[in-house]
Structure 1
């Protein structure tokens, strides 16, 4: 692990230990770390969730043909979509929250989404992704970032490549279910942004994840793009 990644990991663990960022997972009843709460405090390695969309907005809005109706999406429509995604992912270990800052939805798929060192989505998680993809189709005025993460086991280069291929695998699956390709960008971060302690098995399992960020497109975004 490089010094940069080690520093990021230590900072993230330190923040987790010094904040009240735990919430109850409605799917399991267990206490889990809230990425939204951590991001709201300032990041400590999770600042990438506060950054801009992967690849920007303009080309993706135009490519996906998102138009004037986008203005009606924001606000209560986002709340409705969160509720619906929570329903289709209930009991699966998938975590659904608002993004830090409350400008989008973060859907986090756990370690069991893939077999060890594999980019093949498990049958159980394909069924869950079917429901998430349908929600994206039902709420078309948004852009989608798919972000892959690994634990710190293995080399930096291997982890980066694996996280990228897993993110692409999820992106390709969403497209196969009917989500417009122009709406989706994917990126692998490797081990750079842990959410738990990489020295424990439970922590490593938490760090092996794929996140889907769904960002509503506002009327102002559409006007700027066109």
Structure 2
């Protein structure tokens, strides 16, 4: 099978993921199904390009697609289950849990975590972080990035330092709750990655947040 044909087949599979949305752009397939299709596309390319004898690339592409589909489906199913478990265990409705298909994103607004200009996590928020820790221990095959963000009020250097301290505070609670510290990375982004306009109070409140990114390692 020619590389161009393989590439076209893989591209068609990936476009199939995009096509499986409703009129509002929301996915109509589960992450398990999406993972299977994406895994099949990647597996087909890998199977064809790693062929050593160059005589049966078609068969190798098919085998690669099957293996990739199975692996993708398993990874997608695990993330589906982990996201559902997180949603059930976290009590604060302002915490967002987003399943991106290849990783989970937990967004915790500053207002539920910290007092103004403080890096000390509030008592109620600690309960939710312990729930996150229990979930991480239940699903141990992942790398966890804790990322602090601020708005643009004040000096950039101060905001960078505050975001770093806040990320470390959250990571410290996860570690104290039993998450292996080797899985945890704490990073401050300061005001550099806003998700809303800093020109309004509501936008600034949205930008002040800590994100926990859960990335499967296998």
**TM-score with structure 1 setting the length:** 0.63
Secondary structure at 2:75's aligned position in 1? coil
Pair 1:93-2:100 in alignment: no
* Cα distance in structure 2, aligned partners of 1:125 and 1:21: 33
Report how many residues are paired. Answer: 150
Pair 1:216-2:216 in alignment: yes
Unaligned runs of 5+ in 1: 1-19, 23-69, 219-226
After superposition, the C-alpha distances for 1:62-111 in whole angstroms (9 at most, x for unaligned) are xxxxxxxx999622111100001111224430000023xx2100000112
C-alpha distance 197-131 of structure 1, shift in aligned 2 (>3 A): same
Q: Is the 8 A contact 2:92 2:128 kept in 1?
A: no
**TM-score with structure 2 setting the length:** 0.65
Q: Please, what is the CA RMSD of the aligned residues?
A: 2.1
Residue 184 of structure 1 corresponds to 184
Residue 193 of structure 1 corresponds to 193
Q: Name the structure where helix makes up a greater proportion of residues.
A: 2
Structure with larger RCO (C-alpha < 8 A, sep 6+): 1
Unaligned runs of 5+ in 2: 1-23, 27-70
* Cα distance in structure 2, aligned partners of 1:156 and 1:81: 36
User: Bigger radius of gyration, 1 or 2?
Assistant: 2
After superposition, the C-alpha distances for 1:25-59 in whole angstroms (9 at most, x for unaligned) are xxxxxxxxxxxxxxxxxxxxxxxxxxxxxxxxxxx
Task: Tell me by how many angstroms 1:124 deviates.
Answer: 0.9
* Cα distance in structure 2, aligned partners of 1:79 and 1:103: 10
